[in-house]
Structure 1
Amino acid sequence: MRLLYTIWSAVYLVVLYLLLFPGQFVLLQRDAWKPIAHKINYIWGSLFFFGVGIPVRVESQFRPDPKQAYVFCANHFSYLDIAAMGLIVKNYYAFVGRSDVKQIPLLGYMFAKLHIQVDRNQPNSRAYSLAKSIRTLASGRSIMIFPEGGIRSMEPPRMEPFKDGAFTMAIQQQVPIVPVTLLTNYMILPDKRPVRFYGHPMRAIVHPPIETAGMTQNDVERLKQKTYRIIDNELKKSGSPAALQA
């Protein structure tokens, strides 16, 4: 039954995107239309979680202003995290993610048009993606980033130290950091073989913002550690093995 549920979830995910992609493709052709293309990802995620019977439970301790730019920082234990963030945060944002995604047919095209790619094989890619992220924030659009830098395959998963990029750009543009704790995605789609979907509720918490006004680049480490502690403490409070093993 677990295998059948996994196959159904994967097929349903792909079919949904194939149905929605033509409209998204048209909207991606003009910058003014891209916020609407972004909303299609929200529709895709909503229909997917509903269709596979996974309840979405978001505790919003803070409701971001759609007209303000933020840097959203979340823990990253599952490939489901990317789809889930579209439901958790309604703001128009750009993901900062690995360029590997562009290899996926159709989805890769959307990611390249809407988001910011980091190619770890290119020595200047991190600097380029940081500069592009700063320009994105300056334009009034938010950034979504997993500051661990990727998923680490371990069982159970645990938080890795955060990298500096998210906090450097937030201070550079004096925009708030918004920590997001993803509590159960690694239970729904664990990063292990064989790939299997599980029917756990998707739970997440959007924490109050950490203001960066008046901070300088000398405060990057302090800001980074504060964000890490907020997410880690929430994982521990929930009894998550991801935090208890850290």
Structure 2
Amino acid sequence: MKIILRKVHCFLYAASVGLTYAICLPFLYLLSRNTRNYKYMNAIRRAWGFVSSILVGIVYNFKYEKAIDWSRTYIICPNHTSNLDITAMTLLVKNNNHCFMGKEELLNSFVTRLFFKTVDIPVNRESKMSSYRAFKRASEVLANGTSVIIFPEGKIADDYPPRLQEFKNGPFRLAIELKVPIIPVTSVNTWKILWDSGVQHGSKPGICNIFVHEPVETAQLTLDDADDLRDKVYGIIKQKFE
């Protein structure tokens, strides 16, 4: 009975996401015609994520190790166990001046296609050329003052319960090259509310606890420090998650 209720809740959540997105779509489409409107697209995405979650009893609780100065530009590195992590990150960045780097397959999804054709950065991690183009674009948007959200694990792993997977080097080399601080973010329990897409284990109402760590500065680092930076951020998130 429990799994049936979780599957029903997951269906309701998917319906909530789809229906609220359909309401937002005409406005998003009009805004997407001009890059100057991307902040407004993020504002709508933020509201859409909040409303679609709250309608099925999912809320987000953020705790901060230190207050974040959102006038600065960051690379935001969260762990990734749930589709809810994406909504959590849109709610985290208060100034709406951000974009995601995500897997190329998101170009084929009804609710993410428009964003990944405009605001966000698709990447095929199996292709060196695609990765090069994606990180080149990321460096350009960072240089223009837009924060970039990158899940350093690269994907939601198949392990259940989830374990923190190895981090890719890309975000950390990029942070050092541009002297941009990294914000480690630990998604503590979103997988308990909805793991991955919810297809296997369903979902349930609840509070997603998100811990925002103090930014890690990179101004004094060189590319030789990239592995150490990666390991430092991994350790910060791992300690809180596990």
TM-score with structure 1 length normalisation?
A: 0.91
Question: Structure 2: which amino acid aligns with 1:180?
Answer: V
Aligned length: 236
- Quick one: which of 205, 217, 222 aligns to 1:211? 217
Query: C-alpha distance in 1, partners of 2:169/2:126?
Result: 19
Query: C-alpha distance in 1, partners of 2:111/2:80?
Result: 23
- Quick one: which of 116, 124, 132 aligns to 1:127? 132
Query: C-alpha distance in 2, partners of 1:3/1:234?
Result: 29
Aligned to 1:238: none
Query: C-alpha distance in 2, partners of 1:95/1:220?
Result: 21
The offset of 1:23, in angstroms, is 0.8
**2:66 matches 1:62:** yes
The offset of 1:55, in angstroms, is 2.6
- Quick one: which of 3, 18, 29 aligns to 2:7? 3
The offset of 1:195, in angstroms, is 4.8
Correspondence 1:88-103 to 2 at 5 A: 88-91=92-95, 92-103=97-108
- C-alpha contact (below 8 Å) 2:80/2:155 kept by paired residues: yes
Judging changes above 3 Å, is the alpha-carbon distance between structure 1 residues 193 and 29 closer, same or farther for their aligned structure 2 residues? closer
Correspondence 1:81-120 to 2 at 5 A: 81-91=85-95, 92-105=97-110, 107-120=112-125
**2:162 matches 1:162:** no
Aligned to 1:220: 226
- Aligned-pair identity in percent equals 31
- Quick one: which of 186, 190, 194 aligns to 2:200? 194
**2:16 matches 1:12:** yes
Question: Structure 2: which amino acid aligns with 1:202?
Answer: C
- C-alpha contact (below 8 Å) 1:159/1:232 kept by paired residues: yes
Aligned to 1:230: 236
Judging changes above 3 Å, is the alpha-carbon distance between structure 1 residues 29 and 63 closer, same or farther for their aligned structure 2 residues? farther
What value does the CA root-mean-square deviation take over the aligned residues? 1.5
- C-alpha contact (below 8 Å) 2:8/2:202 kept by paired residues: no
**2:28 matches 1:42:** no
Q: Deviations over 1:143-189 (max 9, x none)?
A: 10110111111111101111111101110110101000001111111
Q: Deviations over 1:216-240 (max 9, x none)?
A: 10110111111111111111xxxxx
- Quick one: which of 169, 181, 196 aligns to 2:186? 181
The offset of 1:21, in angstroms, is 1.2
Query: C-alpha distance in 2, partners of 1:66/1:204?
Result: 17
- C-alpha contact (below 8 Å) 1:28/1:113 kept by paired residues: yes
Q: Deviations over 1:85-143 (max 9, x none)?
A: 11122241111110100001253122220111102353311111111111111111111
Identify unmatched segments of 5+ residues in structure 2.
none
Judging changes above 3 Å, is the alpha-carbon distance between structure 1 residues 227 and 120 closer, same or farther for their aligned structure 2 residues? closer
Identify unmatched segments of 5+ residues in structure 1.
236-242
Q: Deviations over 1:48-92 (max 9, x none)?
A: 221111232110223333321101001011122112211122241
- Quick one: which of 21, 24, 28 aligns to 1:24? 28
**2:131 matches 1:139:** no
